[in-house]
Amino acid sequence: MDRLFATYHIETAHPLEKAAAVMAGEQSAGTFVKVPGETPELLENHGARVERITELETVDAPTLAGSKPPKGTQAPVYRRAEVVLSFPFANIGTSLVSAMTAVSGNLYELGQFSGLRLVDVVFPDAFKTHAGPQFGIDGTRKLAGVYDRPLLGTIIKPSVGFSPAQTAELVKTLCDAGLDFIKDDELQANSPHSPLAERVKAVMHVVNDHAERTGKKVMVAFNISGDMDEMLRGHDTVLEHGGTCVMVNLIPVGLAAVAHLRRHSQLPIHGHRAGWGALTRQPYLGWSYIAFQKFYRLAGVDHLHVNGLRNKFTEDDASVLASARECLTPMLGGYTVMPVFSSGQWAGQAPDTYAALGSTDLMYLAGGGIVAHPDGPAAGVASLREGWEAAMAGIPLATYAETHPALRGALEMYGAL
Amino acid sequence: MDRLFATYHIETAHPLEKAAAVMAGEQSAGTFVKVPGETPELLENHGARVERITELETVDAPTLAGSKPPKGTQAPVYRRAEVVLSFPFANIGTSLVSAMTAVSGNLYELGQFSGLRLVDVVFPDAFKTHAGPQFGIDGTRKLAGVYDRPLLGTIIKPSVGFSPAQTAELVKTLCDAGLDFIKDDELQANSPHSPLAERVKAVMHVVNDHAERTGKKVMVAFNISGDMDEMLRGHDTVLEHGGTCVMVNLIPVGLAAVAHLRRHSQLPIHGHRAGWGALTRQPYLGWSYIAFQKFYRLAGVDHLHVNGLRNKFTEDDASVLASARECLTPMLGGYTVMPVFSSGQWAGQAPDTYAALGSTDLMYLAGGGIVAHPDGPAAGVASLREGWEAAMAGIPLATYAETHPALRGALEMYGAL
């Protein structure tokens, strides 16, 4: 089994078999025009194969404009289907970049399709050569000293604008409040008003001091996103000051640079998916997160954002949970990453999150739920911890809140009591 | 003027001013919940600004699912608008990755929007620190020895599957046919059946031999796409064997790695946009190429694919021409790149392409139009050259074909006579 499998949802006015054959041809040995050298032998060895076509529903109007129905069609009918293609090892080898090009290249622009989405990818065993997460769930837990419950965290807010000293001051408050994990905002990387090196120095001074006093080393994900050398330097600065995590905006930085960072890195890589919506929000275009995140896991990311239940964005809960489950499902026998729940999270979503996942191997990031708690940030963090305790014990939040005032405060604040 | 400007097309059921303010807040100093430290001073210095809102049409149904109309709205009306935001230098500095995160990050997932597309970006002068194209139009012309007309080229087909020796054999035929430019397919990078180093060696042997015999060094864009170190090594191999161009699949490789390659490179970088459709095919989601290509120009790409008139894909001619014009329009006083026309091109589109652009500063890649010409590849190349001669002289193709048999053969083959 040395072939790469890719599953798509397509919509087309062409016969499904023909449309699928066009996909396979365009993304492997074929072209629009037959050319010399395109021998049966070459096609056999290098052609992508249509493995399966499962017809789905039919729609009257094309989802995406620009597609070209078969010539002479008066009232085209647009059929949807799930199509599985496979690509030979000979074309791609174990290159992540080549794999991404094969499964997602020109396909989206093919005239035959009024909809085309990559919904899953299955890599062959040959891809086990990729570094993958260096720390993953176990390594992250060990560094953070947190077991048997989610890592509770927050994002430094305002998103951008604080000086290194102001950031360090806020981090002090958040460490004192009892958090396990703090991250830079995706918008705050190495900027004129908060150069990364200065921020790392100021923040780690606080974190190290807190660790010395309490024995707890809070994990801070510093956003090192930037140019290649800038990221490697950023990583080294974080390491040098005793930091335990770096963060990268995966999409703006890109796959090859993330893989390169991984080879250099001695720290967990926290993967933020800023820009993701552009690739996914139209359900018959782009990518599912199931497919997308596999590339970055193989490249070596340790933590992956998956949004959160009842989030402030447009993604529904089923999609969030599918992403999180996928992060927790081993690939090629390993490569497990820690899903990061974020956006509108507070204790309130803990029971449903736990019930759906059956796991605490996750990061749970809250913002307003911590800093805006009526009894202060420490109560905010306590309310998250108590919410998860209740969830794990199968006790309703309202019941648990009777004896846990921090949780009660949170439930009151969110109008859930 | 040290602010970065970004223009969007949005669709929302919320009041336009409010929706635009949410965009600005989310992508700068704001968050969903007011937090301590979000002072008026900080917002003034670090907030993104809404510069302009131009209302467009109204639609009854949301283009994208998942958006949340204002609470209590019975029959929401979805208004479209063009919105211009600006971002302060203090947040971003001159980082391309940070700029991309700011203009395209979480925006696409905001609950207020049933459509959101980035249509343009204007970088402040501070971004002049970026390397940009090393060769651009003039440098490419000089290396290829082609002036006063487009560079005529082709793509090695079958897309993938030839051995290095077979590829070299085809390149020999194409050099003899008189082409200026030959490129690997985006699917053919460094693969088990055609390792880049072997392919470069075999192909450059032919190209160098041809150059010695004829004085013409055909430019071959070798697809070096892959991991960071693999790309740098690939570049060095091409350089070492006397090659004059490297090619990169921009989207799978990513922005940071492309910028890093540019700093290392001594050759023009040919930018392929495989995967682009996913980001652009829904007109109220994702990116316009106008905005997208600016990032890669600053990062240092020399040639950029723009599709072609009457192409085999879904893009319309107006969009193709807008992209090409943009490539030819200086950014920050320079950074001009060579647009690459490809997909279904033959002599037939030369007059319209020239009439619309008023320039020959482009690459014009044909496939079937060359190898399938009834009188052979040399006649195929001649037909392209003659098509452009006719276009530049303002002579109808059919008229010019009366005295130019290669062009006549092409017109007959395409049923245009």
What is the pLDDT, as a whole number, of residue A1? 57
Do A214 and A172 meet the contact criterion of CB atoms below 8 Å apart? no
On the CB side of A55, CA atoms within 13 Å amount to 10
CB contact under 8 A, B160 and A46: yes
Bigger pLDDT: A387 vs B74: A387
Specify the CATH number for the domain of residue A315: 3.20.20.110
Whether A109 shows a pLDDT value over 60: the answer reads: yes
Instruction: Identify the CA nearest to B380 among candidates B340, B354, B413.
Output: B413
Residue B32 has pLDDT above 70, yes or no: no
End-to-end CA distance of chain B: 55
pLDDT above 70 covers what percent of chain B? Answer: 99
- For residue A256, CA distances in Å to A4, A271, A405, B257 come to 19, 14, 48, 6
Among A32, A111, A367, whose Cβ lies nearest the Cβ of B33? A367
Q: Give the residue ranges of DSSP H helices in B215-310.
A: 228-240, 250-253, 255-264, 277-280, 289-299
Same domain, A140 and A113: no
Based on the fold, state whether residues A271 and A246 are members of the same structural domain.
yes
Q: B247 and B359, same structural domain?
A: yes
Same domain as A293, residue A146: yes
Distance between CA atoms of B250 and B255, rounded to whole angstroms?
7
Burial (Cβ within 10 Å: 0-12, 13-18, ≥19) of residue B77: exposed
pLDDT of the residue at A345: 96
Q: What is the mean pLDDT of chain B?
A: 96
Could you say which of B81, B109, B129 is where a domain stops? B129
What is the mean predicted confidence (pLDDT) over B57-64? 96
**What CATH number is associated with residue B55?**
3.30.70.150
Neighbour count for residue B74 (Cβ, 10 Å): 5
Question: Cβ–Cβ of A157/B37 closer than 8 Å?
Answer: yes
**Does position A34 have pLDDT exceeding 80, yes or no?**
no
3-state secondary structure of B198: helix
Task: Report which residue type is found at B395.
Answer: I
pLDDT band at A87 (very low <50, low <70, confident <90, very high): very high
Which positions ≥6 away from A185 have C-beta within 8 Å? A155, A156, A157, A158, A159, A160, A223
Nearest CB to B98: which of A27, A65, A189?
A189
Rounded to an integer, the average pLDDT of B10-39 is 87
Instruction: Read off the pLDDT of residues B209-229 as tens digits, 9 standing for 90 and up.
Output: 999 999 999 999 999 999 999
Q: How far apart are CA A358 and CA A152, in angstroms?
A: 17
- Which of A129, A153, A172 terminates a domain? The answer is A129
pLDDT confidence of residue B368: 86
Mean of the pLDDT values across residues B391-402?
98
Check if the beta carbon of residue A120 is closer than 8 Å to that of residue A7: yes
> What pLDDT, in 10s, does the model give residues A249-264?
999 999 999 999 999 9
Residue B134: predicted pLDDT: 98
Summarize the confidence of residues B112-136 as an average pLDDT. 97
Degrees, nearest 5: CA angle B184-A87-A299 = 80
- Is-contact B296 B304, C-beta < 8 A? yes
Q: What is the share, in percent, of chain B residues with pLDDT greater than 90?
A: 93
Asked whether the beta carbons of B366 and B179 are under 8 A apart, the reply is no
A259/B158 touch (CB, cutoff 8 Å), yes or no:
no
- Same-domain status, B106 and B162: no
pLDDT digits (tens, 9 = 90+) for B179-196: 999 999 999 999 999 999
Q: Quote the CA–CA distance of A311 and B111 in Å, as a whole number.
A: 9
Measured distance between the N- and C-terminal CA atoms of chain A, rounded to whole angstroms: 55
**pLDDT one-digit tens code per residue, A291-318:** 999 999 999 999 999 999 999 999 999 9
Phi-psi region of B204 (alpha: psi -120 to 50; beta: other; left: phi over 0): alpha
Domain boundary among A129, A146, A177: A129
**pLDDT score, position A31:** 61
Single out the residue of B243, B308, B230 nearest to residue B269, CA to CA: B243
- Quick one: tokens of B155? 């793509």
Same domain as A146, residue A104: no
Nearest Cα to Cα of residue B112 among B58, B75, B62, B55 = B62
A243 confidence band (pLDDT: 50, 70, 90)? very high
Q: Is the confidence at residue A32, as pLDDT, over 60?
A: no
Residue B67's domain spans which residues? 3-129
Q: What pLDDT score does A30 carry?
A: 72
> Are A98 and A175 part of one and the same domain?
no
The answer to whether the CB atoms of B277 and A107 lie below 8 A apart is: yes
Distance separating alpha carbons of residues B329 and B351, to the nearest angstrom: 21
State how far the Cα of B329 lies from the Cα of B289, in Å rounded to an integer: 14
A16: which 2 tokens?
Answer: 């499904």
Tens digit of each residue's pLDDT (9 = 90 or more) over B386-396: 999 999 999 99
On the question of pLDDT at B1 being above 70, the answer is no
Query: Average pLDDT, stretch A354-371?
Result: 95
Residue B335 has pLDDT above 60, yes or no: yes
Task: Judge if the upstream peptide bond of residue B339 is cis by omega within 30 degrees of 0.
Answer: no
DSSP, collapsed to helix, strand or coil, labels residue A279 as: helix
Tell me, yes or no, whether B214 and B295 share the same domain.
yes
- Verify that B195 and B287 share a domain, yes or no: yes
User: What is the C-alpha separation between B265 and B220, in angstroms, rounded?
Assistant: 16
**Is there a contact between B187 and A371 if contact means CB atoms under 8 Å apart?**
no
Confidence of residue B29 (pLDDT cuts 50, 70, 90): confident
Residues of B in contact with A372 (CB under 8 A): 33, 35
How confident is the model at residue B35, as a pLDDT?
72
Question: How far from B253 is each of A259, A295, A348, CA to CA, in Å?
Answer: 10, 12, 40
Among B31, B276, B316, which would you mutate to test the A interface (most chain A Cβ atoms within 10 Å of its Cβ)? B31
* Predicted confidence (pLDDT) at residue B34 exceeds the cutoff of 70: no
Minimal C-alpha gap between A271 and chain B (Å):
13
CA distance A117 to B22: 29
A105 and A175 co-located in one domain? no
CB-based contacts of A236: which residues, under 8 Å, 6+ apart?
none
Is ipTM strictly over 0.90? yes
> What's the gap in Å between the CA of A393 and the closest CA on chain B?
30
Give Cβ neighbours of residue A213 (< 8 Å, ≥ 6 apart).
none
User: Which residues lie closer than 8 Å to B225 by C-beta, 6 or more apart?
Assistant: A95, A97, A98, A101, B186, B189, B190, B231, B247, B248, B249, B252, B253
Q: Is the per-residue pLDDT at A334 higher than 90?
A: yes
Closest CA to B253 of A290, A223, A101, A303: A101
Q: What is the pLDDT of residue A369?
A: 86
Q: Are residues B386 and B279 in the same domain?
A: yes
pLDDT tens for B244-287 read 999 999 999 999 999 999 999 999 999 999 999 999 999 999 99
- Same domain? For B174 and B323 the reply is yes
Average pLDDT value over all residues in chain A: 96
CA of A333 vs chain B CAs: smallest distance (Å): 23
The pLDDT tens digits for A223-240 are 999 999 999 999 999 999
Query: What is the number of structural domains in chain A?
Result: 2
Spatial CB neighbours of A312, under 8 Å, sequence gap ≥ 6 = A343, A344, B32, B111
Summarize the confidence of residues A146-175 as an average pLDDT.
96
Other beta carbons within 10 angstroms of residue B122's beta carbon come to 17
pLDDT classification of B88: cutoffs 50, 70, 90: very high
